[in-house]
């Protein structure tokens, strides 16, 4: 291991550097991208470990100021000292500063240490070893030791790249997706409702330049949310109710700069890691970070942050309008589709940006695909929703939109389109034991969100005059910001220069990315119609929206068709089905097809079912499945007629291993009276996308 000394640029503090490469001793700035070791062709493969040595600078850092600001942001998020909190930790100066502030905040709340006396109670760090370099395991272990020394319990999780490690061009994006999946999984396993990450003001500035170079609108330019509800890929049973597990992702350091991160580490005498891959010009954020570094000045930074703040106020206003529109004009049906009351909505009175966001939220809810809707698709949807009465149909963003039957075009149906790429179709379901159920963390999260909303309600943007950049693209936002004197001419000129520089990189990648996305969509489309067998008593999540389960029971209830005048007299009292054989019965899940409708009609007309014919034994109370299924099909057809044709295609059905229809739980059909099947519409991400705050 080679060692060297580092001169930290912001505070002129002498620090000791160590890294796992056979480099000679060097004097350089640890976060200066101009050093030759960090040139385009000389990116070190190992992280650089920095340690602050004793200096007068340590005494000059006002930690009380940082602790007070951190405490204020935690209160804004609705988080109390007793809430259990996870920290996403990489070991860099940002996440180590987060650890310092979170540990101080927790202990000041008089909750102290746990029973071991070693770790702070209710604080948990998650360290992800991406496994992309040979040294990563040792580095993660070292970071874990440093976090433990701070009194924070931690868990190191190594990424499992099932499909092989990501390619260089998609490395950061893939690593981020994997990292957040691990964060959510660990939070669920440990029943933690809040995850803190260390994004700061400089990260927001980078994201602003990145998105503006892609010609993002004002909502995208608002950057990362202060708090956002992130929904896990896992669902669980808690407190006698099906609940989708979510974590409140909080960014309490958005007020702080990168320079503040170094000062906090230095002021608390904590080590940090400098990851040299963060200097590579192969990645857009790194290029922007380097360019912004050349423009660092108090005026430029403050003016750029002022533009971002103005965009966030506009975002708050739009979100408020959309939430109100959803409550007034949307009806969600149990069969998995939504109805928009166009008369109540009154689209002609709504700004384009609010209406576009509204329809996006509705489509994302129905399709459960959280991809943004942009460009020509967004314009097409706006034009469609403004046409009243609507008389045509439209397929967009995984949904099929059409006039609601009997509404004369004043209501629109939004149904999931099975002809578009869909989320994975079925997955195993997670349940809590009775002991775990007592400590269900969903209730805690609801209380935290309620606390945060009470703060947000005092900071609402009540009218459009406070939203300065409604319906503007990136260039218009900057022009308007200059006109309003939010930014100076020099700042405007520098931002435009950064946009153009990064925009040239983006355009060269567009075709490549589009081809990759197209390939992925084809795979999803095929997977949407495949399913593993669902065993009796098991539960699965189908298409991210239906909770499906089934089982067999030897005891048959007498009230199968309550209120049905055609109930057969011999069904009175408890009966036994003579065809039940749980060991041989297999069920698979798929969406409904036209043949299912025809099959139900056929059952009502035929004297016996060709596939399930048995002999009813008189005087014993035993009945045949063919008798039962004929009556069940008749009742189901009545229910099916009340569901629009467009919506029927996304209704889940159960079939046997030969593809023969067993049950359509949503409309009450089942082939055997001993079969109990259910399909509950419980979309993973709720209408509106869950709680978020851009304060």
Let me know if residue 521 belongs to a domain.
Answer: no
Confidence of residue 523 (pLDDT cuts 50, 70, 90): very low
Confidence of residue 557 (pLDDT cuts 50, 70, 90): low
* Distance (Å, whole) CA 388 – CA 43: 59
Confidence of residue 504 (pLDDT cuts 50, 70, 90): confident
State the DSSP code for 53. P
Q: What is the 3-state secondary structure (H, E, C) of 345-384?
A: HCHHHCCHHHHHHHHHHHHHHHHCCCCCCCHHHHHHHHHH
- Which H/E stretch holds residue 540? strand 539-542
pLDDT at 13 over 90: no
**pLDDT score for 461:** 73
382 close to 359: Cβ distance less than 8 angstroms: yes
Both structure tokens of 293: 């570094």
**pLDDT score for 362:** 97
Cα 546 to Cα 319, 335, 341, 576, distances in angstroms: 27, 9, 24, 30
Count the residues in the chain: 695
625: exposed, middle or buried (Cβ count in 10 Å: 0-12, 13-18, 19+)? buried
* DSSP string for 144-202: HHHHHHTT-EEEEEE---TT-PPPGGGHHHHHHHHHHHHHHHHHHHTT--EEE----HH
394 close to 504: Cβ distance less than 8 angstroms: no
Residue found under tokens 């460009």: 375
CATH code, 268 = 3.40.50.620
In tens, the pLDDT along 157-215 reads 999 888 888 887 678 888 899 999 999 999 989 999 999 999 999 999 999 999 999 98
Q: Of 250, 279, 308, which residue sits at a domain end?
A: 279
Which residues on adjacent β-strands are paired with residue 645? none
**pLDDT score for 532:** 73
- Which H/E stretch holds residue 655? strand 652-655
**pLDDT score for 178:** 92
504: exposed, middle or buried (Cβ count in 10 Å: 0-12, 13-18, 19+)? exposed
> Can you tell me the mean pLDDT for 655-680?
90
> Can you tell me the mean pLDDT for 395-420?
92
Confidence of residue 667 (pLDDT cuts 50, 70, 90): very high
pLDDT at 389 over 50: yes
Of the CA atoms within 13 Å of residue 332, those in its CB half-sphere come to 17
**pLDDT score for 611:** 45
Interstrand relation of 153-158 and 123-129 (parallel, antiparallel or unpaired): parallel
* Distance (Å, whole) CA 53 – CA 14: 6
685 close to 364: Cβ distance less than 8 angstroms: yes
* Distance (Å, whole) CA 394 – CA 388: 14
473 or 361, which is more confident: 361
Give the closest residue to 441 by CA, choosing from 693, 147, 83, 6. Answer: 83
* DSSP string for 428-475: E-----HHHHTT-SHHHHHHHHHHHHHHHGGG---SGGG-TTTT-BHH
**pLDDT score for 86:** 98
397 or 294, which is more confident: 397
* Distance (Å, whole) CA 398 – CA 422: 7
> Can you tell me the mean pLDDT for 584-604?
89
Which residues on adjacent β-strands are paired with residue 243? 236
339 close to 330: Cβ distance less than 8 angstroms: yes
**pLDDT score for 187:** 94
* Distance (Å, whole) CA 96 – CA 92: 6
> Can you tell me the mean pLDDT for 28-42?
39
Let me know if residue 18 belongs to a domain.
Answer: no
Residue found under tokens 């970070």: 289
Let me know if residue 35 belongs to a domain.
Answer: no
For residue 185, what are the domain limits? 63-279
583 or 25, which is more confident: 583
Q: Residue 114: which residues within 8 A CB-CB, separation 6 or more?
A: 120, 121, 153
pLDDT at 70 over 70: yes
Q: Of 264, 279, 294, which residue sits at a domain end?
A: 279
Model pTM?
0.85
195 or 552, which is more confident: 195
Confidence of residue 474 (pLDDT cuts 50, 70, 90): confident
**pLDDT score for 198:** 98
**pLDDT score for 564:** 44
* Distance (Å, whole) CA 330 – CA 363: 12
Both structure tokens of 205: 């500035």
| Helix-strand-coil split of the chain, %, nearest 5 | 40, 20, 40
Cα 32 to Cα 8, 9, 10, 274, 289, distances in angstroms: 9, 8, 10, 11, 11
515 or 124, which is more confident: 124
* DSSP string for 469-488: TTT-BHHHHHHHHHHTTSS-
> Can you tell me the mean pLDDT for 128-147?
92
> Can you tell me the mean pLDDT for 397-404?
94
Q: Of 222, 253, 279, which residue sits at a domain end?
A: 279
**pLDDT score for 10:** 39
**pLDDT score for 481:** 96
Omega cis (within 30) before 389: yes
Confidence of residue 374 (pLDDT cuts 50, 70, 90): confident
In tens, the pLDDT along 347-361 reads 999 999 999 999 999
Let me know if residue 540 belongs to a domain.
Answer: yes
> What is residue 646's three-state secondary structure?
helix
**pLDDT score for 111:** 64
Let me know if residue 168 belongs to a domain.
Answer: yes
State the DSSP code for 37. G
Confidence of residue 19 (pLDDT cuts 50, 70, 90): very low
Averaged pLDDT of the chain: 80
Interstrand relation of 272-274 and 123-129 (parallel, antiparallel or unpaired): unpaired
In tens, the pLDDT along 204-250 reads 999 999 999 998 999 999 999 999 999 977 665 554 456 668 999 99
Let me know if residue 39 belongs to a domain.
Answer: no
482 close to 307: Cβ distance less than 8 angstroms: no
Interstrand relation of 338-341 and 588-591 (parallel, antiparallel or unpaired): unpaired
* Distance (Å, whole) CA 60 – CA 202: 23
Let me know if residue 667 belongs to a domain.
Answer: yes
Which residues on adjacent β-strands are paired with residue 4? 17
In tens, the pLDDT along 423-467 reads 445 565 555 444 444 455 678 999 999 999 988 777 677 777 888
Which residues on adjacent β-strands are paired with residue 15? 6, 52
> Can you tell me the mean pLDDT for 383-396?
94
Let me know if residue 640 belongs to a domain.
Answer: yes
* DSSP string for 630-651: HHHHHHHHHHHHTS-HHHHTT-
Cα 214 to Cα 206, 211, 301, 453, 611, distances in angstroms: 13, 5, 21, 32, 58
Tell me how many domains the chain contains. 2
Share of the chain above pLDDT 70, in %: 75
């Amino acid at each position: 291991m080679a060692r060297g000394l580092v001169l930290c640029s912001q505070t002129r503090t002498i620090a000791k550097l160590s890294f796992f490469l056979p480099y000679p001793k060097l004097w350089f700035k640890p976060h200066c991208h101009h050093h030759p070791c960090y040139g385009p062709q000389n990116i070190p493969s190992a992280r650089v470990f920095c340690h602050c040595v004793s200096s007068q600078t340590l005494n000059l850092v006002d930690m009380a100021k940082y602790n007070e600001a951190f405490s204020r942001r935690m209160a804004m998020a609705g988080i109390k000292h007793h809430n259990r909190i996870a920290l996403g930790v990489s070991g860099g100066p940002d996440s180590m500063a987060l650890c310092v502030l979170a540990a101080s905040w927790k202990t000041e709340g008089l909750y102290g240490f746990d029973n071991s006396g070693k770790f702070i109670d209710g604080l948990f760090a998650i360290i992800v070893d991406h496994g992309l370099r040979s040294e990563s395991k040792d580095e993660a272990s070292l970071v874990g030791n440093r976090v433990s020394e701070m009194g924070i319990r931690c868990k190191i999780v190594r990424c499992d790249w099932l499909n092989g490690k990501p390619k260089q061009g998609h490395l950061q994006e893939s690593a981020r997706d994997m990292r957040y999946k691990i964060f959510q999984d660990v939070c669920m396993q440990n029943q933690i409702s809040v995850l803190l990450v260390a994004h700061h003001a400089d990260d927001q500035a980078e994201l602003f330049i990145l998105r503006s170079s892609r010609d993002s609108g004002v909502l995208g330019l608002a950057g990362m949310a202060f708090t956002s509800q992130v929904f896990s890929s896992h669902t669980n049973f808690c407190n006698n109710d099906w609940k989708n597990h979510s974590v409140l992702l909080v960014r309490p350091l958005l007020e702080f700069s990168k320079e503040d991160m170094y000062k906090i580490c230095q002021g608390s005498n904590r080590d940090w890691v400098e990851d040299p891959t963060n200097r590579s010009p192969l990645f857009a954020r790194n290029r922007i970070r380097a360019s912004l570094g050349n423009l660092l000045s108090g005026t430029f930074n403050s003016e750029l942050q002022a533009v971002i703040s103005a965009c966030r106020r506009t975002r708050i206003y739009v979100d408020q309008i959309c939430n109100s529109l959803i409550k007034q004009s949307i009806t969600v049906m149990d069969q998995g589709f939504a109805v928009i009351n166009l008369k109540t909505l009154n689209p002609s009175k709504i700004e384009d940006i609010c209406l576009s966001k509204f329809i996006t939220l509705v489509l994302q809810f129905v399709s459960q695909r959280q991809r943004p809707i942009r460009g020509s698709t967004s314009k097409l949807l706006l034009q469609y929703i403004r046409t009243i009465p609507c008389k045509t149909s439209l397929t967009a963003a995984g949904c099929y939109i059409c006039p609601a039957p009997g509404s004369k075009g004043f209501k629109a149906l939004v149904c999931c389109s099975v002809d578009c790429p869909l989320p994975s179709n079925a997955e195993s379901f997670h349940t809590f034991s009775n002991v775990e159920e007592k400590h269900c963390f969903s209730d805690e999260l609801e209380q935290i969100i309620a606390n945060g909303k009470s703060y947000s309600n005092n900071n609402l943007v009540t009218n459009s005059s406070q939203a300065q950049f409604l319906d503007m693209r990136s260039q218009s936002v900057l022009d308007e910001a200059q006109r309003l004197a939010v930014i100076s001419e020099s700042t405007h000129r520098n931002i435009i220069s950064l946009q153009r520089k990064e925009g040239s990189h983006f355009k060269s990648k567009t075709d490549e990315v589009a081809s990759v996305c197209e390939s992925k969509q084809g795979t999803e489309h095929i997977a949407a119609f495949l399913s593993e067998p669902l065993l009796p008593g098991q539960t699965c999540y189908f298409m991210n929206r239906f909770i499906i389960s089934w089982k067999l029971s030897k005891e048959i209830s007498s009230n199968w068709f309550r209120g049905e005048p055609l109930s057969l007299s011999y069904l009175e009292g408890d009966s036994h089905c003579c065809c039940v054989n749980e060991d041989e019965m297999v069920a698979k899940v798929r969406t409904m097809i036209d043949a299912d409708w025809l099959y139900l009609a056929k059952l009502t007309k035929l004297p016996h079912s060709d596939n399930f014919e048995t002999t009813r034994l008189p005087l014993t109370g035993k009945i045949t499945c063919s008798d039962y299924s004929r009556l069940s099909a008749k009742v189901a057809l009545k229910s099916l007629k009340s569901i629009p044709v467009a919506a029927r295609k996304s209704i889940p059905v159960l079939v046997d291993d030969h593809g023969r229809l067993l049950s359509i739980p949503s409309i009450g059909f089942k082939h055997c009276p001993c079969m109990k099947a259910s399909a509950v519409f419980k979309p993973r991400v709720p209408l509106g996308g869950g709680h978020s705050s851009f304060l």
